[in-house]
Amino acid sequence: MHLEEFAEGASLLHRLDPRVKFITLMAFILLTAVVKGLGLPLYALAVSTVLVAVARLPLRKLVNRLAVVNIFVLLLWIFIPFSYPGKELFSLGPLTVSQEGLLYVLSITMKTNAIVLATIAILGTSEIFSLAHALVHLRMPEKLVHLFFFFYRYISVLHEEYIKLKRAMTVRCFTPGTNMHTYRSFAYLVGMLLVRSYERSQRIYQAMLCRGFDGRFPLIRHFALTGKDIIFCILMVSLTVSMAMLVLL
Amino acid sequence: MIKVKNLNFIYPNGKAVFKGIDFSLKKGEKVGLVGPNGSGKTTLFHLIMGLLTPSMGEIRIFGKPRNKESDFKEVRRRIGLLFQDSDDQLFCPTVEEDIAFGPLNLGKSAEEVRDIVSETCELLGLKGLEKQVTYRLSGGEKRLVALATVFAMRPECYLLDEPTTGLDEETTERIIKFLTEHADTYVIISHDHELIERVCDKVYRLNGGRLERVDKISLDKK
Ligand SMILES: Nc1ncnc2c1ncn2[C@@H]1O[C@H](COP(=O)(O)OP(=O)(O)OP(=O)(O)O)[C@@H](O)[C@H]1O
Ligand SMILES: [Mg+2]
């Protein structure tokens, strides 16, 4: 795994200014989250699908990500149709399924997928580092940005250590079973993972201190808006605004 | 033992490491593998152990093609890999447990394992370190323990990725002694030409994605 698997590519979306991406995406997400009914969520889903197509994302990885999200959505499908008050559609034993409930989960499903797809297509196509930079430029509190950036950095460290430890076990013929040896080995794996990730992060931090880190990242690369960014911005904003207009109608 | 044909590997980020390499290792051969940093030596070892999957080409080990994860189970029982970075190798809290890990996986009984551990420690001069915590060892000690964990499985063939980097002369001698007395087939990656001179019969150089046989004598000139 690496967390930036969608960031590799050269599509239009990969080359956009991350500041524009953040602003347009926020507006889109906010609106998608509040709309009701079926028509507008469908509209949002269509917009997201087009974005995914423009970003030319690898389909298989995308499906994997969506599957994870939809596991949670599935839980909603189990509970909401039975508990939402409304016109009875049919009943399963003592449980009744309401029409409103069914439409409600359907709407949630479409909205969730629309938001996730748009986020992957727009933010996933930038590297974390440039996203963090964009956030600083957008006047987000630096502390929060650092938190976000280090969180990402250390998740990667943790994952790298995990991969190493797993490899160390594989080359020495470890096959999991139900015995003490297996349990102990897994316990060692987890323990070592924590100890070593902690030590690695300490070393990274020390190395940063040695190079004069004082809690701030100086910004070297500055973003410059180009024609593409402006066109994308206008396009996304008008799509979002048209959605808002439809809500008001 | 190992036969690799027209092998190619591309990292997920699109970096192609080889331009089709052929390599073979017979029983009893002692081979040195040299090449500049980043030429793909470590990658080749990882491909042979099935930690990476080739994008093209064929790997035959012990006379059978090895493609799937399950094919490599046997390979890992019979070939021992020493990682370039000892931290990649060690993961149990104590030295003793780390050395015991491999033999236990091979299904050895507790007594056999105890014998193997003490014999291995004896051989590599690790007596007294058995109860030490692995991640607090010095770099050289870690190297020896890592070698011990590989040797404890008594593989038929060793793949050693820079076994002596960062070691003092005495420890290097200990490793050379170990190789000449206890290992019969191996491939050693090293930038130490003197070491290769002393323990290898045959040398290959990996450069620009190609693998070629070179004379031992020409090593020092380059
Ligand atoms: N995980 C990875 N992802 C992408 N590229 C990698 C990865 N690991 C190695 N590479 C690249 O593959 C090439 C070969 O790496 P490899 O580690 O096999 O070199 P090496 O010959 O062992 O070098 P050294 O003598 O420095 O140990 C290098 O150019 C490296 O940048
Ligand atoms: Mg290497």
Question: Could you give the CA distance from residue A187 to residue A112 in angstroms, rounded to a whole number?
Answer: 37
The torsion angles phi and psi of A61, rounded to 5 degrees, stand at -65, -35
A116 lies in the same domain as A30: yes
A98 lies in the same domain as A59: yes
Q: Does A135 map to a domain?
A: no
Whether residue A111 has pLDDT greater than 90: yes
A97 lies in the same domain as A180: no
Nearest protein Cα to ligand 1, atom 22: B42
Residue of A163, A179, A157, A172 whose CA lies nearest to B97: A172
Helices (H), chain B: 41-48, 69-78, 95-105, 110-124, 139-151, 169-182, 193-199, 218-221
pLDDT score recorded for residue A217: 66
Question: Could you give the CA distance from residue A191 to residue B108 in angstroms, rounded to a whole number?
Answer: 25
Q: Name every chain A residue with its beta carbon within 8 A of the beta carbon of B80.
A: 171
What end-to-end distance do the CA atoms of chain A give, in Å? Answer: 45
Q: Does A8 map to a domain?
A: no
pTM: 0.75
Q: Name every chain A residue with its beta carbon within 8 A of the beta carbon of B97.
A: 188
Q: What share of chain B is helix, strand, coil (3-state, %, to 5)?
A: 40, 25, 35
Q: Which residues lie across from A210 on neighbouring strands?
A: none
Residue where the block lists tokens 């650092």: A146
Whether B41 is in the pocket of ligand 1, judged by its Cβ within 6 Å, is yes
A91 lies in the same domain as A149: no
Q: Does A42 map to a domain?
A: yes
**Which domains are delineated in chain B?**
2-221 (3.40.50.300)
pLDDT score recorded for residue A5: 79
Whether residue B219 has pLDDT greater than 50: yes
Based on the structure, what is the number of domains in chain A?
A: 2
Tens-place pLDDT, residues A32-52: 999 888 889 999 999 999 999
Q: Which of A8, A168, A175 sits opposite B88 (nearest CB)?
A: A168
Whether B38 is in the pocket of ligand 1, judged by its Cβ within 6 Å, is yes
A169 lies in the same domain as A240: no
Question: Could you give the CA distance from residue A19 to residue A224 in angstroms, rounded to a whole number?
Answer: 10
Q: Does A216 map to a domain?
A: no
pLDDT score recorded for residue A198: 86
Ligand 1 atom nearest to B11, measured from its CA: 4
Are A185 and B88 a contacting pair at CB < 8 A? no
A146 lies in the same domain as A121: no
SS3 B8: strand
A206 lies in the same domain as A228: no
**Rounded to whole angstroms, what are the CA distances from B75 to A171, B47, B163?**
9, 11, 21
Q: Report the pLDDT averaged over residues A218-234.
A: 81
Closest CA–CA distance from residue A209 to any residue of chain B (Å): 23
**Lookup: tokens for A219:** 């910004």
- Residues A216, A149 contacting (CB under 8 angstroms): no
A92 lies in the same domain as A45: yes
**Rounded to whole angstroms, what are the CA distances from B182 to A177, B10, B151, B157, B200?**
32, 36, 9, 11, 14
* Residue in A closest to B133 by C-alpha: A192
Q: Report the pLDDT averaged over residues B124-140.
A: 87
| Test mutation, B48, B84, B105, B106, chain A, max A CBs within 10 A | B105
- Residues A122, A26 contacting (CB under 8 angstroms): no
Q: Name every chain B residue with its beta carbon within 8 A of the beta carbon of A195.
A: 135
Residues 175-214 (A) with a CB less than 8 A from some CB of B = 175, 181, 185, 188-189, 191-192, 195-196, 199
Q: What is the torsion angle, in degrees rounded to the nearest 10, for the CA atoms of residue B140, residue B221, residue B213 and residue B76?
A: 0
Q: How confident is the model at residue B114 (pLDDT cuts 50, 70, 90)?
A: very high
Whether B89 is in the pocket of ligand 1, judged by its Cβ within 6 Å, is no
Question: Could you give the CA distance from residue A115 to residue B98 in angstroms, rounded to a whole number?
Answer: 47
Q: What is the largest CA-CA distance in chain A?
A: 69
Q: What share of chain A is helix, strand, coil (3-state, %, to 5)?
A: 70, 5, 25
A111 lies in the same domain as A169: no
A202 lies in the same domain as A228: no
Are B97 and A169 a contacting pair at CB < 8 A? no
Q: Which residues lie across from B141 on neighbouring strands?
A: none
B52 touches chain A (CB under 8 A): no
pLDDT score recorded for residue B220: 60
Question: Could you give the CA distance from residue B161 to residue A205 in angstroms, rounded to a whole number?
Answer: 29
Q: Does A166 map to a domain?
A: yes
Average pLDDT, chain A: 86
Average pLDDT, chain B: 90
A160 lies in the same domain as A193: yes
A25 lies in the same domain as A118: yes
Whether B91 is in the pocket of ligand 1, judged by its Cβ within 6 Å, is no
Choose one of B7, B11, B44, B47 to mutate for the ligand 1 pocket test, by most ligand atoms within 8 angstroms of C-beta.
B11
**Rounded to whole angstroms, what are the CA distances from B112 to A176, B79, B156?**
21, 20, 19
CA of B3 to the centre of ligand 1 (A): 22
Which of A110-124, A165-179, B25-39 is predicted with the least confidence, judged by mean pLDDT? A165-179
Whether residue B22 has pLDDT greater than 90: yes
Q: Report the pLDDT averaged over residues A142-156.
A: 83
Whether residue B65 has pLDDT greater than 90: yes
Percent of chain A with pLDDT over 90: 31
Q: How confident is the model at residue B108 (pLDDT cuts 50, 70, 90)?
A: confident
Question: Could you give the CA distance from residue A137 to residue A19 in angstroms, rounded to a whole number?
Answer: 8
Q: How confident is the model at residue A212 (pLDDT cuts 50, 70, 90)?
A: low
Are A171 and B97 a contacting pair at CB < 8 A? no
Are A170 and B149 a contacting pair at CB < 8 A? no
Are B101 and A172 a contacting pair at CB < 8 A? yes
Which run of H or E residues covers position B189?
strand B186-189
Structural domain of A74: 13-126+223-248
Q: Which residues lie across from B187 on neighbouring strands?
A: B31, B159
What DSSP assignment string belongs to A192-203? HHHHHHHHHHHH
Question: Could you give the CA distance from residue B24 to residue B5 in angstroms, rounded to a whole number?
Answer: 9
Whether B17 is in the pocket of ligand 1, judged by its Cβ within 6 Å, is yes
Q: How confident is the model at residue A1 (pLDDT cuts 50, 70, 90)?
A: very low
Question: Could you give the CA distance from residue A36 to residue A141 in angstroms, rounded to a whole number?
Answer: 33
Q: Does A51 map to a domain?
A: yes
User: Which ipTM score applies to this complex?
Assistant: 0.74
Closest CA–CA distance from residue B20 to any residue of chain A (Å): 25
Q: Does A101 map to a domain?
A: yes
